[in-house]
Amino acid sequence: MQSSSIDIAAAPASKPGLRLLLLPLVILAGMGLSVEAGLLGPLGVQVGHLWATLSIFGVGSAILFLLLLFSGPQQGPALNTLPRWQLIGGFLGPMYVVVLTLATPHIGIAMTMIAILSGQVGKSVLIDHFGWFGATRKKVNGERWLALLLIVAALVLIARG
Amino acid sequence: MMNLIILLAVVVVAGAVLSVQAAINGRLGETVGVLRSSLLTFVVGAVSTGLLILFFEPAHAVSLLDVPKWQLSGALFGVVYMMVMVGAVPRVGTAVATVAVIVGQLGMGMLIDNFGWLGNPAIELSGSRVLAMVLLGLALVFMYRSSTRQA
């Protein structure tokens, strides 16, 4: 269900040898996301978009439940002590998956992924610029506007086919 | 053409929604751990999708139980992705991991499209599709440069 988060930040890295070993693994994981999207489109056409979405969340819930059960007691506070708004992430995920099943049969997987990435990048630039959702208003520098412009151009190219 | 533009707009909005979700879940994951925050997301997702199905989904001739089993394996890739990222991000850094994921995503996406794998309609790799990829790549470079400068 997840896609890559685009809020790129430079983070400290460790030994170069380990990095080289891990990179192919991360690339493979990214390829898996496209395979997931590729499975969803045709499935949605056959059984309905919501059923296809349920298959993702149902199977995912079951696997994670088993993983959690066998990984023993967890650190940190109990879920029912957390602020309620932190729990709404679960409602946003299905929106994304439904859109994936709707879009991939029409524009293809690669282009769907580009459009998703555009939304991620665009959102972060606009939130910073206008200070939406209570974020501190930051000046968005020229490079990030240029990035947004390039992305819009990419979308126009996709729309024209 | 008009439909395509609307569809594209919907997908872009879904991307924005996804990054809001990632931000909320990131906070949650830091406090309660990745496994529990993901389980919560998936269970809430499954329950809300189930409710929508009960009340709004028209009946279909084919059910999830009728399709070939491999078509149901999508969630496995999502869970594996999550576990790889949990293990790899602290070691290779967020920026490198993000770029590697996108490379894998788009590369595999192009392959599936081009050959019509997994029952998808085949879409040949055209000049404008390649150009769109290049523009996105450049955009990511600029995003990365501006974030390292601020840090």
Helix (H) or strand (E) holding B62: none
Taking CB atoms and an 8 Å limit, are B45 and A86 in contact across chains?
A: no
Domain boundaries, chain A: 30-70+87-107, 109-160
CA-wise closest residue to B60 among A43, A101, A61? A43
Helix (H) or strand (E) holding B100: helix B94-115
Return the pLDDT at A54: 94
* Least trusted range by pLDDT, from A96-110, A122-136, A142-156, B104-118: A122-136
Q: Looking at the predicted structure, is the pLDDT value of residue B150 above 50?
A: yes
What mean pLDDT is predicted for residues A71-92?
Answer: 82
Mention every residue, 6+ apart, whose C-beta is less than 8 A from residue A142.
none
Q: Which of residues 82-141 of B touch A (CB under 8 A)?
A: 82, 84-85, 87-89, 91-110, 112-113, 117-121, 123, 126, 128-129, 131-133, 135-136, 138-140
Return the pLDDT at A9: 52
Percent of chain A with pLDDT over 70: 84
Following DSSP, what letter does each residue of A4-56 receive, concatenated?
------------HHHHHHHHHHHHHHHHHHHHHHHHHHHHHHHH-HHHHHHHH
Taking CB atoms and an 8 Å limit, are B23 and A7 in contact across chains?
A: yes
Mean residue pLDDT across chain A: 82
Tens digit of each residue's pLDDT (9 = 90 or more) over A8-66: 555 555 566 777 788 888 889 989 999 999 999 999 999 999 999 999 999 999 999 99
Counting runs of H as helices and runs of E as strands, what totals does chain A give? 5, 0
Minimum distance, in Å, between the CA of residue A70 and any CA atom of chain B: 11
Return the pLDDT at A43: 94
Taking CB atoms and an 8 Å limit, are A51 and B57 in contact across chains?
A: yes
First to last CA, chain B: 42
ipTM (interface predicted TM):
0.87
Which of B112, B130, B140, B145 would best serve as a mutation to test chain A binding (most A beta carbons within 10 A)? B112
Q: Which chain A residues are closer than 8 Å to B97 by Cβ?
A: 26
**Option in A54, A68, A111 nearest B46 (CB):** A54
Q: Looking at the predicted structure, is the pLDDT value of residue A98 above 80?
A: yes
Mention every residue, 6+ apart, whose C-beta is less than 8 A from residue A128.
A135, A137, A138, A140, A144
Burial class (CB in 10 A: 0-12, 13-18, 19+), B145: middle
Return the pLDDT at B67: 93
Which structure tokens are listed for B115? Answer: 């050959």
CA-wise closest residue to A34 among B107, B10, B116, B15? B107
**Option in B60, B73, B92 nearest A19 (CB):** B92
CB B143 within 8 A of CB A6: yes
Q: Residue A134: CA atoms inside 13 Å, Cβ hemisphere, count?
A: 0
Q: Which chain A residues are closer than 8 Å to B46 by Cβ?
A: 54, 57-58, 60-61
Mean residue pLDDT across chain B: 85
Greater pLDDT, A138 or A56? A56
CA-wise closest residue to A156 among B108, B106, B4, B110? B4
What mean pLDDT is predicted for residues B57-86?
Answer: 90
Mention every residue, 6+ apart, whose C-beta is less than 8 A from residue B2.
none
Taking CB atoms and an 8 Å limit, are B110 and A110 in contact across chains?
A: yes
Number of A to B CB contacts under 8 A, please give it: 442
| Ranges A110-119, B85-94, B140-149, most confident | A110-119
The model's pTM: 0.84
In angstroms, the CA A102 to CA B67 distance is 18
**Option in A3, A54, A85 nearest B53 (CB):** A54
Q: Is B142 on the interface with A (CB under 8 A)?
A: yes
CA-wise closest residue to A5 among B44, B41, B95? B95
In angstroms, the CA A25 to CA B88 distance is 9
**Option in A71, A109, A157 nearest B131 (CB):** A157
Q: Which chain B residues are closer than 8 Å to A30 by Cβ?
A: 81, 100-105, 108
Return the pLDDT at B151: 47
CA-wise closest residue to B22 among A81, A135, A93, A56? A93
Return the pLDDT at B85: 83
